[in-house]
Chains A and B, each alone.
Chain A
């Protein structure tokens, strides 16, 4: 009997060890650190929620919060649109299907920093291909990375490019569960292509659609790599995400305040997760 109890513990022990030591402790530790004044070369001091009070009056923090939420909402919206188009293409019968699926994975498969570097060069003001093409079309050069709106747009485009394949793969799994005969029956009953898509496919794959939105929103809220490379958070802090803002404090050795920002970011991600799960349940 005692062997039966011990065995599963032994099996999950390595998992629990790594999760506890390198995920759970750091998360709890971050929360604990956020209650301290913890700056390099100065003695640590417990200050309870003072870091959070400081956040309330920190204009740059609110700017970063607004940017992070806006970025996530706009990016995820376009990712769903392009991801759905891609999923429909990858689901269609064609001789190229296998190759197409491989090719469609490329933007997602390559490291995000490399994708970011590609877009950074495309957006360059003087010789970036975006402005050269616009110039050929008779439109003046756009200051992509030097203006707040331009930088926001640039980052959204780069993020949509990188993560559309991921959304497409998730949605593809949903499309494959839609029974062919149901679509054929609807066609016989006179439903056209678009009616079949909006009235049959979308309702059937709604649970997977919500999973995709959930995954992507949580991921988009912690955006860091793209911003670090493409804009560095600029111009003038206009594209500083919460991850980026927290990182800046870690970098300068202010661990207490950086931790407080991280905790807020986690809470925002958590609230979005709850919201989507809620929406999914209510509609079901």
Chain B
């Protein structure tokens, strides 16, 4: 009886901890974005305004909508292509025996450990030589490579749980390997495919160092870089704008996290903990 009480107290304080820990800094961002001044605590107190949001969405010279569009196009293109390439490769690796398979998987895994800084200096020169700096391609191509290890890893884990008898039956009926993958295996592993796309979207939407080095202005610059480079006219950081832009940029990823919480967690778990 006594232990049950301790357990309940621990559980309740744990829930409070998680809520405060996760939400308070986030709520603070929303409060600042809706306030006339970021230093309101020292002065007149909270004064509600949506001016920061209106400005950030309407003032063309801030380019926030450009950044948002760039981020969306780049992150979703990458997520889709990388998940598909990963699915096809994961299928081959989990279903077909060929020499060098283990080596391939280990190499891909090892490469995903590389710090991004080890890649970005070379990529900068490479993209400059190709004349691709400050284009979508300059980010999409490296992002695909950078996210492929995760796409491969997650989907290998999902595919390995689908009984091979299903493939064999389809092949007996005359389906090619590719048909088997797209008509039999992938539909069954659809939750895994969705998890992969969502995770890759979030990773690319968040990525900073590549985007910082490989873009130059609003033509290809993404949201994280835009938010990190916001400067006020007189050196003072425009906190209202920064926080309003942050709130808007958080909406898509938070919606994904809340709605697809199960898929995200399952994807991360499959990526990290190979069964």
Partner-B contacts on A (CB < 8 A): 5, 7-9, 11-12, 14-16, 18-19, 21-27, 29-30, 33, 82, 85-86, 88-90, 92, 94, 96, 98, 100-107, 109-119, 121-122, 126-127, 129, 132, 161, 164-166, 169-170, 172-174, 192-193, 208, 211-212, 215, 218, 221-222, 224-225, 228-229, 242-243, 246-247, 250, 255, 258-259, 261-263, 265-266, 269-270, 273
A229 to B205, CA, bound (A): 17
Contact partners of A263 in chain B: CB under 8 A: 118
Answer whether residue B51 sits at the interface, using C-beta atoms and an 8 A cutoff. no
Contact partners of B10 in chain A: CB under 8 A: 193
Return A184 CB to nearest CB of chain B, in Å. Answer: 13
A186 to B250, CA, bound (A): 44
Contact between B256 and A109 (Cβ–Cβ < 8 Å)? yes
Sample of 26 A–B contacts (CB below 8 Å): A7-B92, A7-B177, A8-B92, A12-B104, A22-B123, A23-B145, A33-B121, A82-B21, A89-B14, A89-B18, A90-B18, A94-B15, A102-B257, A103-B258, A107-B22, A110-B26, A117-B242, A118-B29, A121-B243, A169-B268, A222-B115, A224-B208, A228-B212, A255-B125, A258-B121, A273-B113
Contact between A211 and B145 (Cβ–Cβ < 8 Å)? no
Answer whether residue B194 sits at the interface, using C-beta atoms and an 8 A cutoff. no
Contact partners of B114 in chain A: CB under 8 A: 23, 27, 266, 269
Contact between A14 and B85 (Cβ–Cβ < 8 Å)? yes
A115 to B93, CA, bound (A): 38
A89 to B259, CA, bound (A): 20
A208 to B268, CA, bound (A): 13
Which of B86, B115, B124, B242 has the largest number of chain A CB atoms within 10 A? Answer: B115
Chain B 144-179, CB within 8 Å of chain A: the 1/0 string? 111011001000000000000000000000000100
Please tell me which stretch of B35-43, B58-66, B185-193 contacts chain A, meaning at least 4 of its Cβ atoms lie within 8 angstroms of it: B35-43
Return B184 CB to nearest CB of chain A, in Å. Answer: 15
Contact between A105 and B117 (Cβ–Cβ < 8 Å)? no
Chain B 68-104, CB within 8 Å of chain A: the 1/0 string? 0000000000000000011011011100101000001
A1 to B168, CA, bound (A): 18
Contact between A117 and B111 (Cβ–Cβ < 8 Å)? no
Contact partners of A172 in chain B: CB under 8 A: 265, 269
Contact between A224 and B269 (Cβ–Cβ < 8 Å)? no
A115 to B24, CA, bound (A): 12
A174 to B273, CA, bound (A): 9
Contact between B89 and A100 (Cβ–Cβ < 8 Å)? no
- Find A22's partner among B93, B141, B205, B246 (CB 8 Å cutoff): B141
Known: A107-B22, A193-B6, A258-B121. 8 other contacts (CB 8 A): A14-B89, A15-B148, A102-B257, A109-B254, A117-B29, A174-B273, A224-B117, A262-B118
Contact between A30 and B118 (Cβ–Cβ < 8 Å)? yes
Q: In the complex where A121-B239, A122-B28 touch, is A11 in contact with B177 (Cβ < 8 A)? A: yes
Contact partners of B41 in chain A: CB under 8 A: 127, 129, 132
A9 to B273, CA, bound (A): 27
Q: In the complex where A19-B148, A106-B23, A113-B228 touch, is A243 in contact with B15 (Cβ < 8 A)? A: no
Contact between B108 and A117 (Cβ–Cβ < 8 Å)? no
A115 to B42, CA, bound (A): 23
- Find A126's partner among B39, B202, B262 (CB 8 Å cutoff): B39
- Find B146's partner among A23, A92, A111, A114 (CB 8 Å cutoff): A23
Return B235 CB to nearest CB of chain A, in Å. Answer: 14
Contact between B145 and A262 (Cβ–Cβ < 8 Å)? no
Contact partners of B177 in chain A: CB under 8 A: 7, 11
Contact between A266 and B254 (Cβ–Cβ < 8 Å)? no
Contact between A118 and B25 (Cβ–Cβ < 8 Å)? yes
A154 to B11, CA, bound (A): 29
Contact between A11 and B250 (Cβ–Cβ < 8 Å)? no
Contact partners of A261 in chain B: CB under 8 A: 117
Contact between B39 and A127 (Cβ–Cβ < 8 Å)? yes
Contact between A106 and B28 (Cβ–Cβ < 8 Å)? no
Q: In the complex where A27-B111, A111-B249 touch, is A161 in contact with B21 (Cβ < 8 A)? A: yes
Answer whether residue B57 sits at the interface, using C-beta atoms and an 8 A cutoff. no
Contact between A89 and B122 (Cβ–Cβ < 8 Å)? no
**Which B residue's beta carbon lies closest to that of A109?**
B257
Q: In the complex where A8-B96, A172-B265, A273-B113 touch, is A114 in contact with B249 (Cβ < 8 A)? A: yes
